[in-house]
Amino acid sequence: MKFGKEFKQQKVPEWTEAYMDYNGLKRILHKIQQFRQPEGPPTPMRVSQQLSLYRPFSGLDVKSSSEETKGDVEDQVIAVETVQNGDSREVYNTNFLLSPKEGEQSEIMFFEKLDVELNKVNTFYRDKVEEVIEEAASLNKQMNALIALRIKVKQPDINKCHIQRNVSMDSSSTESSESDLPNGEDTLGGSHPGEELQIEMISSNELTDSSGYPCENIHMDSKFDVERIHDACRNRMNSDKYESDPLDVLDRVRINNTLESPMSTIRSVLNDSKDKDLRFKKDELKEVEGQLKVVFIEFYRKLHLLKHYSYVNLLAFSKIMKKYDKIALRRAARSYMRTVDDSYIGSSDEVTLLLDRVEGTFIKYFSNSNHREGMKLLRPKRKREKHRVTFFSGFFSGCSIALLIAIILLIQARKVMTKEEHAIYVENVFPLYSLYAYIILHMLLYAANIYFWKHCRINYPFIFGFKQGTELSYQDVFLFSTGLAVLTLGTFLVHLHIKVDSVNSIYSKYTELVPLGLLIVFLAIFFCPFNILYKSSRVFLIRCLFRCICAPLYKVQLADFFLADQLTSQVQAMRCVEFYICYYGMRWYQKEQKCHNLDLYNVFYIIIAVIPYWLRFLQCVRRLFEEKDWAHLYNGSRYFLTIVAVVVRTVFELKMEKSWKVLALLSSIAAILFNTYWDIAIDWGLLQRKSTNMLLRNKLAVSHKYVYFVVMAMDVILRLAWLQLVLKFNIRALKGTAISTLFSSLEIFRRGVWMFFRLENEHLNNVGKYRAFKSVPLPFSYYEEDQDDKSKDE
């Protein structure tokens, strides 16, 4: 693989613009090559290469550095100047020493652009390093509080023991390490680069008594053992080598109320307090350890990507300079690469030091000094594609097509739709199986979206918040959907065969239980507690679904409102669940009635259609109060208007009165116009007037612009399909529930298309702000320092 393609694949998608423009520099080199290429065939170059074989042998002796320097000075092509800008940062400027006639203007343009790229890369890398240094300083304080909390919870009788520090970790050392880090010192560890990271607050295995025995070997069951512990503590208190009480930090610490659970949200509303006091309980310690573990994993990932960013860009500069020397027949690579190596991105080692320190901290404090387990959490293995997934995907898709053909042939051969008794039965049973058709269609569209997201380099695992290594590929989703299709179609074929061809009445009692058995199997697969059938993804979906149902008690994340938007297109599927309850309830209690003849069924028929939009409305309300952004108010009003349209339209569908038809038509048109504008202009970010791409946006993930115009027109047309429920188009080829099934499938298809461009717009917003990491809340807050800062500001 050529380096250009490899370089593109190794880029962090959100940092694409911050990388060196390798292709742009290659285009300039192509112009230089065209200028230097002779008009005739390229035989003279080959002749010169052949003649070089007959020149005197230069020998194998290694030249001294002085001779190399002398040769470089004689053949010097460029001179790089370093200038300090207003921020005391280096800015590089290359002077082309040859005359324009010899060097040609393209070579001057090449080095001008090369300087721009080097300055850009240096600035971005320095800014990111400064960010991680500040984050490391805050993690120091978090670790101090965590270890003090561990002492308080696990060793409540040893509250007077003091800090043993190989490295000074108090507030003054934190500030000094933060300021001295650019000179080669680290933040999370000591002031010496080679020293192992230690945040040495006293814990159970670090205390020793006067005899030298560790406190973990001392049992507090006897009076003598308690006295030995207090003697050890007194020795520490009287020693000048140790500093103040490690538990003093707990007097300045509170637990951050992240509002990520219903109880925390309710407490914040009732108490009007963002933070809560420490309770010194084991469950509290466990929760804090879990939060800090996630913080360290994300911080380590950030450091790893920064190190990779530095390596890839340095390699790109080396490659492009080698190409320049080869094409322009110059010797400038060594001189310029010396400047690159001396620059900040080439010479700074803060990220490497922090990586070592974070590994040591995580292994020691979060994996019980188990190096293998710690690194397994810090560096999860990437998911590998398996051949069996591809094989079974093709196998199940073929079986699905065969079963569908068999069902169609059975219906035609037995003339099921022409016989009245069979036609009525199939029409009643059809909603029981259409539930799975909606789910399968949605899964297939999701698989297609994953394929195109990956093709367009849209970082969907980061946007959705998937745990690294657990995200499903499009092959996995396609396998799961085709497997479910085989199960559904096979069950329907057996059910239809027993009902139509069976002459023995013995089976008629059990025929009705076949769809119910399929539902039980489906729920068993979905809630299966064993580590099979993509457990991590199923748990993630269940958790998001639960957070949607509990809105607005949970803090709204992108995956939550994204799932709620998907549920708005599955209204008919949720009505099928209601039909399941009604169908089997009537079979056992009221066999003579139909579901739509029951008032209670009709009431829930309306309520179920409103639930997804109501959940989405509550999520908008929660985000409005948290983010103070009026856009969420407009978005919430959009869903409220849709709720009104759905209620009026459903009432008209049940009553079929002209007065309700007018109201349904007006409310539906208003909702369609509002929702269509929001889809295209807000969710997709299109129709921008000042965009470089007419009626689109400046940045596009899809290279073909006509795709966006086709999709906008398709969204308008499929939105207007809602009016079919009001105007009642006469489609002769379709009867009964087939019409509602068709238009529900079109709505799911529209939502699948919306899904791709909504995530594309979110990805491009992250690219514009260089957001490549999720923000993880810290568990502790130092409230005294915050109050001091406020008083100083006042």
pLDDT tens-digit readout, 86-123: 666 788 888 877 766 655 688 888 889 999 999 999 99
Tokens for 39, please give them: 């008009």
For residue 676, with 0-12 CB atoms within 10 Å meaning exposed, 13-18 middle and 19 or more buried, which class applies?
middle
Q: Is the peptide bond before 529 cis (omega within 30 degrees of 0)?
A: no
Q: What is the pLDDT of residue 620?
A: 95
In order of 102, 155, 335, 467, the CA distances from 98 in angstroms are 6, 74, 15, 55
Q: What integer is the mean pLDDT of 350-360?
A: 93
362-398 pLDDT per residue, tens: 999 998 888 888 888 888 777 777 788 999 999 999 9
Q: How many residues does the chain have?
A: 794
Of residues 239 and 538, more confidence is placed in 538
Is residue 309 pLDDT above 60, yes or no?
yes
Tokens 């971005």 sit on residue: 124
Are 416 and 500 in contact, with CB atoms under 8 Å apart? Answer: yes
640/483 Cα distance (integer angstroms):
38
Which range is least confidently modeled, 455-459, 524-528, 608-612, 767-771?
A: 767-771
Is residue 64 pLDDT above 80, yes or no?
no
Beta partners for residue 253, in sequence order: 782
Is residue 480 pLDDT above 50, yes or no?
yes
C-alpha closest to that of 518 among 577, 441, 567: 577
460/279 Cα distance (integer angstroms):
39
Is residue 270 pLDDT above 80, yes or no?
no
Highest mean predicted confidence (pLDDT) among 260-274, 469-483, 767-781: 469-483
Are 407 and 493 in contact, with CB atoms under 8 Å apart? Answer: yes
108/132 Cα distance (integer angstroms):
37
558 Cα distance to chain centroid: 9
Are 332 and 164 in contact, with CB atoms under 8 Å apart? Answer: no
User: What is the CB neighbour count within 10 angstroms for residue 720?
Assistant: 13
For residue 498, with 0-12 CB atoms within 10 Å meaning exposed, 13-18 middle and 19 or more buried, which class applies?
middle
What is the per-residue DSSP string for 140-154?
HHHHHHHHHHHHHHH
Q: What is the pLDDT of residue 208?
A: 39
Q: What is the pLDDT of residue 793?
A: 46
Q: What angle separates helix 658-677 from helix 706-720, to the nearest 10 degrees?
A: 160
Tokens for 469, please give them: 């290594």
Of residues 508 and 764, more confidence is placed in 764
- Which H helix or E strand runs over 305? helix 282-328
In order of 352, 567, 570, 668, 737, the CA distances from 725 in angstroms are 63, 19, 16, 10, 12
20-50 pLDDT per residue, tens: 999 999 999 888 888 776 544 544 444 545 5
Q: What is the pLDDT of residue 198?
A: 37
121/90 Cα distance (integer angstroms):
12
Tokens for 577, please give them: 């669940």
Q: What angle separates helix 282-328 from helix 22-36, to the nearest 10 degrees?
A: 10
Single-letter code of the amino acid located at 639: Y
Contacts of 646 (CB under 8 A, 6+ apart): 571, 606, 609, 610, 613
Q: What integer is the mean pLDDT of 343-360?
A: 92
72/220 Cα distance (integer angstroms):
75
Mean pLDDT of the chain: 79
| Helix extents (H) in 11-99 | 22-36, 43-51, 65-74
Are 193 and 353 in contact, with CB atoms under 8 Å apart? Answer: yes
229/216 Cα distance (integer angstroms):
10
Are 15 and 772 in contact, with CB atoms under 8 Å apart? Answer: yes
Of residues 319 and 785, more confidence is placed in 319
598 Cα distance to chain centroid: 46
Q: What is the pLDDT of residue 268?
A: 66
Q: What is the pLDDT of residue 307?
A: 94
Q: Terminus-to-terminus CA distance in the chain, angstroms?
A: 60
Is residue 452 pLDDT above 90, yes or no?
yes
Contacts of 584 (CB under 8 A, 6+ apart): 512, 516
695-728 pLDDT per residue, tens: 899 999 998 999 999 999 999 999 988 777 666 6
Are 423 and 415 in contact, with CB atoms under 8 Å apart? Answer: no
Task: Report angle CA 317, 108, 327 to the nearest 5 degrees.
Answer: 60
- Which H helix or E strand runs over 245? none
Which range is least confidently modeled, 69-73, 163-167, 395-399, 440-444?
A: 163-167
575/564 Cα distance (integer angstroms):
16
Beta strands in 64-196 (DSSP E): 78-84, 90-96
Q: What is the pLDDT of residue 498?
A: 82
Contacts of 136 (CB under 8 A, 6+ apart): 178, 186, 187, 188, 299, 354, 357
User: What is the CB neighbour count within 10 angstroms for residue 726?
Assistant: 22
Q: What integer is the mean pLDDT of 663-670?
A: 90
Beta partners for residue 780, in sequence order: 255
Are 189 and 198 in contact, with CB atoms under 8 Å apart? Answer: yes
